Amino acid sequence: MSELRRKTNPERRAEWWTTLPSAGWLLIFFAIPTLLIVVMSFKPAGPYGGFGEGWSLKAWVDMGNPSYPTVLWRTIRLSLAATLICIALGLPVGFLLGRSDAKTRSILLLLVVVPFWTNFLIRVYAWKVLLHPSGFFRETLVSFGVIGENTLLLYNEWAVLLVMVYAYVPFAILPIYASAEKFDFALLDAARDLGASSIRAFWLVFVPGVSRGVMAAVVMVLIPALGSYIIPELVGGPTGEMIGNKIAQRVFIDRNWPHAAALATVLMIVTLLPVLFAFAQEKRESIAVGKKGGDASS
């Protein structure tokens, strides 16, 4: 087992040098700024913005603000809902992409990616126009009697959820597609052959088959969703506010940086939980496989 032998010193040194650039990059642009945010949250606020002298726990005590649990819960709830819907949409689309021939596939992929050619802010603004009380969507729905005269589409949680799904669904489709492309579609034939309906075959064989893609999609949708700021800012109104908006308000309106830093830390902890969970899951799987290895003989 040559892979398992101890690495020699020159090998170690080579590894160290090749890892250095990316490690350095992460350290300078990720680890240190993150640490700074955490440190800032333990400073007192300066009277005109910035920081005061010494250390203070005031920002953390202020986390007890009665409006925060509501906003935090809404952030988590909306992000989870958006993730779930994005996955639900991403699975059939990924399936379709994986199954189609090269030409159809490239057209469909283009359709998925095309929105990225327009600025994100402009696309969210476009939704604001569509959902506006005198906008196209509401007018049409009202004229068909689908919604009442007094129903507003804009400035509520639903508007935030809708636009989040719109904005993040490509991030669910692409990793699921990447898995589906490697998926052996003969497995679905096998499932049908063994008596599974097409829907059962999809759930029992396709979904487990692209589980890695789904995990990646969860991480890629949930994390930006939790940190959403522009979407609730533009279409959420006061009842659609998320943590991101609160952080922005503390920075731009109150000029209370330590408070904003504490909020950002809270958000970071909430964000890290699913990632840590995903890593733990991965590790458990690889250990299970490792244990069973080495007896594929005969």
Partner 1 sequence: MSEFLVFDGVTKRFGDFVAVREASFAIEKGEIFALLGPSGCGKTTLLRMLAGFIEPDEGRILIEGEDITKLPPERRPVNTVFQSYALFPHLTIRDNIGFGLKMAKRPKSEIDSEVDRMLDLVDLTEHGDKKPDRISGGQKQRVAIARALVNKPRVLLLDEPLAALDLKLRQRLLVELDDIHDEVGITFLYVTHDQTEAMAISDRIAVMQRGTLEQIGTPAEIYEAPVNSFVAAFIGDTNFLRGKVVTATDEEYSQAEIEGVGEIRLFNDRPLKPGEEIALSLRPEKIRIESHAPPTDPGLNAIEGIVEDVIYLGSMTRYWVRVGDQRIAAERQHSRYLLDEKLPSWKDRVWLSWRADDGCVLSDFAVEDTELLSIPPDEEG
Handedness of CA 131, 132, 133, 136 (dihedral sign): negative
Q: Does 254 bind partner 1 (CB under 8 A)?
A: no
The angle that helices 211-226 and 157-182 make with each other, rounded to 10 degrees, is 150
Tell me whether residue 186 or residue 253 sits nearer to partner 1 (CB atom): 186
**291 binds partner 1 per the rule CB under 8 A:** no
Q: Is 211 in the site for partner 1 (CB under 8 A)?
A: yes
Determine, following the binding rule CB under 8 A, whether residue 293 of this chain makes contact with partner 1: yes
196 binds partner 1 (CB under 8 A): yes
CA 107 to chain centre: 25
Q: How far apart are CB 234 and partner 1 at their closest, in Å? A: 42
Looking only at residues 157 through 186 of this chain, which bind partner 1 when binding is defined by CB under 8 A?
184, 186
Q: How many residues does the chain have?
A: 298
Phi, psi of 172 (to 5 degrees): -90, -40
Residue 297 touches partner 1, criterion: CB under 8 A: yes
Q: How big is the site for partner 1, counted in residues (CB under 8 A)?
A: 24
Q: 49: which residues sit within 8 A by CB, 6+ positions away?
A: 255, 256, 257
CA distances from 210 to 98, 203, 224, 260 (A): 11, 11, 22, 39
Nearer to partner 1, 99 or 132 (CB): 99
Residues 207, 210, 212, 214, CA torsion sign: negative
Question: Cβ of residue 103: shortest distance to partner 1, in angstroms?
Answer: 15
Structure tokens at 227: 């940190």
- The interface region with partner 1, picked from 25-33, 56-64, 93-101, 203-211 by CB under 8 A, is 203-211
Q: Is 290 in the site for partner 1 (CB under 8 A)?
A: no
If one asks whether residue 199 binds partner 1 (CB under 8 A), the answer comes out as: no
Binding site for partner 1 (CB under 8 A): 184, 186-187, 189-198, 200, 205, 208-209, 211, 292-293, 295-298
